[in-house]
Amino acid sequence: MSLPLIETKLFLPTPRPGRVPRPRLRERLDRGLEARLMLVSAPAGFGKTTLLVDWMASADASVAASPRGAWLALDSRDNDPGRFWTYVVAAVRTAVPGVGEGALGLLEDPQSPVEGALTSLVNELAATDVDLVLLLDDYHVIEAPTVHAGMAFLLAHLPPRVHLVLATRSDPPLPLALLRARGDLVEVRAADLRFTTQEAASYLNEVMGLDLAPADVRALEGRTEGWIAALQLAALSMTGRDDVSGFIAGFTGDDRYVVDYLVEEVLQRLPDDLQDFLLRTSVLDRMNGALCNALTGRTDGRGSLEALERDNLFVVPLDDRRHWYRYHHLFADVLRGRLLDAQPDLVQELHAMAATWHEQEGDIVESIRHSLLGADFVGAAELVESLLPSFRRDRREAIMRGWIEALPSEVLQARPVLGNALAGARMSTGEFDGVDELLDATEDWLASGAQRPGPSTRGAGVDDDEYRRLPGDLAVHRAGIALVRGDVERTLEHARRALDHVGEGGDHLTRGAAFALRGLAAWSGGDLATAHASYAACLVEFERIDHVSDVLACSITLADIEVVQGRLRSAAQTYRSALALADRHHTPVLRGRADMHVGLAARHREADDLDAARLELARSRDLGEQAGLLQDAYRWRLVMAGIREAEGDVEAAIDLLDESERLYVGDFSPPVRPVPAVRARAWARHGHVDAALAWVDRVGLSLDDPLTYLREFEHVTLARVLAADHARRGGTADLSDVVALLDRMLIAATDGGRQGSVVEIQVTRALVLQQQGDGEAAVTALEAALRVAEPEGYVRTFLDEGPPMATLLAAAERRSPTAYVRRLRSALDRVPTRPAPGRTPSRHDMPVETLSSRERDVLRLLGTELNGPEIARELVVSLNTVRTHTKNLYMKLGVTSRRSAVVRGKELDLL
């Protein structure tokens, strides 16, 4: 991180005097020292932080076996992965000095993925003999998927003597089900944290000195349901009252309204100057005396904070020197609401004061936040511009995008570098809304010869290089927009313009992007030779500037092109070469590395090495979501679906294809192999012809369509669906017309050098000709496919066709007995049998014993403590898919509840 650490985030808070002993919870946390993760999850105001502080304070430092504690208080700014993990390492170093040097060095390198730093940290911790408890408070503020993915990686590799504690208002998206099943998770939840009647009595009478009758304690504990914050607020409101029982009797409402009412009661009884202090400083997430003085105009900020703490008025010290504080979150929310109602014009003024103070202190990020909240958009824009080069270097586009999108359009129009940066950030994530307008505004600014904004009053301004890059960047963005819209000619035109702007030895990043877009345009038109050459040139440009993740991304496209060309061995080598390049960077994870393993898995699947394919997919998953590009999630499931189908589990394959379609994220690559078409082929192969025909109707295909490369895969699928329909009931299409379509496609694919398509088309022709009764022509078509396929090691393309292919291969072997044909026949004998095409089976036809493998998986998990969403995550499917399987399962078992299903499953030996 380029910014200094806020050390107060790393201080373990001091236990409050007069706290209520809670031995039952401390014992549960003690048991957590035998697990990887302790999760303290409950809504605000349930005493999570207090419990953990007391627990850590109870450890006997004189006993060698006592663990060391490392504390980190999180806030919303920690959603930046670099900032988050730098703070985590810093927290660990407070407890284990000297550990984490290597991790910090890797985190300072913007090109180094987070997993490299985490691996270094794990290895250093494993080499120590220290028992460590790492506590992360307020983890619910973390929303960034990349941070969660890194946390999952850390959890998977924690040394046995290191334990993680998360205090959070909501369950984080981590593999909790797996940890729970392995006994590696100890949980403390709202039901556990609620004050019992005895604890409520101890707090109200012994700590607060209210001397309530047992009936009043029970009534108040019952109305608050043991919610500690509400009890605390109630106690403050009751202090000094004569009719305490009457107050308790009238105490009603839900959490939000209860808090509003009670804080109103507390605030009204405070002196006016203290109320004003609270309202003015409520805009701050954290505060010290000097900052409070800047917003209040007073000189007693530090003393006021100390007095608030003494009076238990919802201030939380953030360090052991009582320098930094924050308000209790609920208390702050109510204060801000009151401020907005009472003095709305003051809110912006206070944020402006806070922004100025933070800027003077060197905290530019916090200054930007307050500038935006205070509607000082020009000042915020100047500060954002000053950080643009470093944030782009550190790949913190998400934070930058959030700031820029918060700026009004008139501010962006005067600052073309920011507008261009926003356009690029949106396009990189597949979002194109408003991009045209941003590009138009930047082009208008350049054409007008307008002056750059004057010298920045708040930031360092924009570097001259940023303005010099604008024309080339704009041309690249225009090329990308044109490509997404299918305008190949304009894509090529803009790509050429970008290359002209930068010249032969110019900006390699712009040159690489222009080459890539030129290649994608050629690919969309079926010109694979030009596409391949352009992408090869793109790789060279990115390698020159050491943009390894971009090299990995381009390698995916290059390999996809090689597969269509029928060069399967070259595609596999492309993936291996990219992985070797990543390995030379000595980091375990780079963005795009996971995709390389998925690509290799697809090649192993085609070679019928299913074990190797599964191993590559496992390697991809082990690297974590952050190691994959946007398309990795759907590609992973697409390959796994192929593996499950090859193993005979068609239902699981269809589930995975459904998930793949749901997770599909389009990029600039042409959608030449749509997931719905892949699923329609599977339906047709396995007898679900009506579903496949419904797909034909949805996409609007016909045998007379003009041929384009973009729909080549879909038209082959159309031929297969119509042939399956004809086999079932005679169909509505003449097989001669299907063969005619395939003949036209064969000519187009051959002329385009798409040998991979040639293999698919010839295999389909062979099957349709066989079905038509022309065995001689069918074998001839198959032999043509075999000649292309043998040098590249195709296997599953033939095996997936089942018994009809076995007949054709036998005839081919009689005509020309080659080792390749014998090998395919032998492999086909080992393929799991599948039902012949026909009517889609009804659920009512299935006896109990015919539960599908996926339904058995669901039944097994119903016997655990996992809930529906957790079962879905375990099976890598959607919650709706789990519900469908559960419904079918209940129907087959003749039950109506989860418990009954498990009992019935045990009776039938299904578990």
pLDDT, tens digit (0-9, with 9 covering 90-100), for 412-438: 888 898 998 898 888 876 778 888 988
Does residue 686 form part of some domain? yes
Alpha-carbon distances, residue 755 vs 500, 565, 760, 787 (angstroms): 34, 5, 9, 11
Distance CA 10, CA 547 (A): 34
Distance CA 722, CA 604 (A): 30
Does residue 714 form part of some domain? yes
Do the strands 185-189 and 68-73 form a parallel or antiparallel pair, or are they unpaired?
unpaired
pLDDT at site 289: 93
Average of per-residue pLDDT across 451-457: 66
Two tokens, residue 457: 């009053």
Two tokens, residue 355: 């922004």
Residue 725 has pLDDT above 70, yes or no: yes
pLDDT, tens digit (0-9, with 9 covering 90-100), for 611-669: 999 999 999 988 877 677 778 889 999 999 999 999 988 888 998 998 899 888 777 78
- CATH classification at residue 284: 1.10.10
Which phi and psi (to 5°) does residue 166 adopt?
-115, 125
348 and 227 fall within a common domain: no
- CATH classification at residue 617: 1.25.40.10
690 and 595 fall within a common domain: no
676 and 758 fall within a common domain: yes
Average of per-residue pLDDT across 838-855: 50
pLDDT at site 836: 41
Band (458; pLDDT cuts 50, 70, 90)? low
Q: Are the C-beta atoms of 641 and 681 separated by less than 8 Å?
A: no
Distance CA 502, CA 493 (A): 15
Domain closes at, from 770, 801, 829: 829
325 and 293 fall within a common domain: yes
Distance CA 33, CA 132 (A): 9
pLDDT at site 329: 67
Q: Which of 162, 95, 136, 131 is nearest to 9 (CA)?
A: 136
Does residue 451 form part of some domain? no
Long-range contacts for 73-77 (Cβ within 8 Å, ≥24 apart)? 73/8, 73/9, 73/10, 73/137, 73/138, 73/318, 74/9, 74/136, 74/137, 74/138, 74/139, 74/141, 74/142, 75/9, 75/138, 75/141, 75/285, 75/286, 76/141, 76/285, 77/365, 77/366, 77/369
Query: For tokens 């971009």, what's the residue?
Result: 550
More confident position, 253 or 787: 787
Band (265; pLDDT cuts 50, 70, 90)? low
139 and 18 fall within a common domain: yes
> How does the average pLDDT of the chain come out, rounded?
84
Q: Tell me how far apart the terminal alpha carbons of the chain are, to the nearest angstrom.
A: 52
250 and 320 fall within a common domain: no
Where would I find the beta strands (DSSP E) of 169-254?
185-189
More confident position, 625 or 481: 481
Handedness of CA 360, 366, 372, 377 (dihedral sign): positive
Alpha-carbon distances, residue 906 vs 17, 902, 903 (angstroms): 54, 6, 5
- Looking at residue 37, the DSSP 8-state letter turns out to be E
pLDDT, tens digit (0-9, with 9 covering 90-100), for 540-570: 988 888 788 888 889 999 999 999 999 999 9
SS3 assignment, position 465: helix
299 and 346 fall within a common domain: yes
Do the strands 68-73 and 315-317 form a parallel or antiparallel pair, or are they unpaired?
unpaired
Distance CA 584, CA 725 (A): 53
Which phi and psi (to 5°) does residue 713 adopt?
-65, -40
pLDDT at site 659: 87
Domain closes at, from 245, 268, 291: 268
More confident position, 452 or 756: 756
Distance CA 106, CA 76 (A): 23
Does residue 357 form part of some domain? yes
Does residue 591 form part of some domain? yes
SS3 assignment, position 39: strand
pLDDT, tens digit (0-9, with 9 covering 90-100), for 189-229: 877 888 888 888 888 888 877 878 888 888 878 766 677 77
Distance CA 334, CA 346 (A): 16
- CATH classification at residue 35: 3.40.50.300
Residue 846 has pLDDT above 90, yes or no: no
209: Cα separation from own chain's centroid:
50
Average of per-residue pLDDT across 856-866: 82
Q: Are the C-beta atoms of 483 and 491 separated by less than 8 Å?
A: yes
Residue 813 has pLDDT above 60, yes or no: yes
Distance CA 516, CA 558 (A): 10
Band (319; pLDDT cuts 50, 70, 90)? confident
Q: What percent of the chain has pLDDT over 70?
A: 88
pLDDT at site 732: 67
Band (261; pLDDT cuts 50, 70, 90)? low
Helix boundaries (H) for 113-210: 114-126, 145-157, 176-181, 190-193, 197-201
pLDDT at site 475: 92
Residue 252 has pLDDT above 70, yes or no: no
Where would I find the beta strands (DSSP E) of 727-869?
none
Band (253; pLDDT cuts 50, 70, 90)? very low
pLDDT, tens digit (0-9, with 9 covering 90-100), for 62-102: 344 568 899 999 998 899 888 999 999 999 999 999 898 88
pLDDT at site 61: 44
Q: Which domain holds residue 643?
A: 546-669
Taking every pair of Cα atoms in the chain, the longest distance, rounded to a whole number of angstroms, is 106
**What's the total number of domains in the chain?**
6
Does residue 476 form part of some domain? no
- CATH classification at residue 880: 1.10.10.10
Element (H, E) at 519: helix 508-524
Residue 737 has pLDDT above 80, yes or no: yes
pLDDT at site 454: 65
Does residue 603 form part of some domain? yes
Q: Are the C-beta atoms of 532 and 562 separated by less than 8 Å?
A: yes
Average of per-residue pLDDT across 52-58: 86
pLDDT at site 428: 75
20 and 64 fall within a common domain: yes
Does residue 796 form part of some domain? yes
Domain closes at, from 654, 669, 684: 669
Q: Which of 623, 581, 576 is nearest to 596 (CA)?
A: 576
Q: Are the C-beta atoms of 284 and 350 separated by less than 8 Å?
A: no
pLDDT at site 845: 37
141 and 188 fall within a common domain: yes
- pTM comes to 0.59
Angle between helices 377-393 and 416-428 (to 10 degrees): 50
pLDDT at site 600: 96
Residue 585 has pLDDT above 90, yes or no: no
Average of per-residue pLDDT across 684-699: 91
818 and 873 fall within a common domain: no
44 and 172 fall within a common domain: yes
33 and 102 fall within a common domain: yes
Alpha-carbon distances, residue 759 vs 680, 754, 783, 802 (angstroms): 19, 9, 10, 17
pLDDT at site 457: 59
Distance CA 751, CA 397 (A): 43
pLDDT at site 309: 76
